[in-house]
Amino acid sequence: APAAWSHIGRLLIFKVHPSFVLFFVMYGWGVTFAMVNVISAIFLKQTLAAAAGDSEVAVLERLQKKTRDIAKLKEIFSEGDKDGSGSVDWKEFQTMIQNPRVRAWLGILELDVTDMATVFNLLDDGDGQIEFDEFIAGVMKCRGAARGVEVVHLLSEYRKIIIQLDEIKSDLATTLPMRESEE
């Protein structure tokens, strides 16, 4: 079939009129352009399919990393819980944080432990003990730059203030009606 086109092309160009060369040049460019676009589309489709698979792999890797991090945190917490109570008090926390290996691991998790009292207060729910679930939740919230720790600290203080305000409000609500009845 290609030989037939070349024969027809020669006849039209040499026997009919030389301007038919423009038609065949444009035809060649058009066919070449179409073939390149088809090949590009196939390549792009394969690339996008691979990229979609990569995002799924990235999510799985993140989940696996989180699982490994939690396992390592459990190990750190268990080592810090000297009395085996399932929670860490202030003294155990200080000892745990002073361990260079623990500090390095928490550094890898992007947790800034330079201010131990702030970190302890952030992780503690107010009972003076940090249980494993509090430890995990707190460490996961505090990951990142020091700004993250400060924001979480502010949120913790905000919650305490709200509780105190609610207590004051309820005290005032019970005290004010008594004064009005005395007058």
Over the chain (183 residues), the average pLDDT of each successive run of 10 is 74 86 88 95 88 77 88 86 87 87 81 74 82 82 65 86 93 75 61
Query: Can you read off the two tokens belonging to residue 33?
Result: 């352009």
Q: How many CA atoms lie within 13 A of 117 on its CB side?
A: 0
**Exposure b/e, 111-138, CB count within 10 A at least 16 = b:** bbbeeeebbbbbbbeeeebbbbebbbeb
> Is 85 in a helix, a strand, or coil?
coil
Q: In this structure, what DSSP letter does residue 15 have?
A: I
> pTM for this one?
0.48
C-alpha–C-alpha distance, residues 7 and 23, integer Å: 15
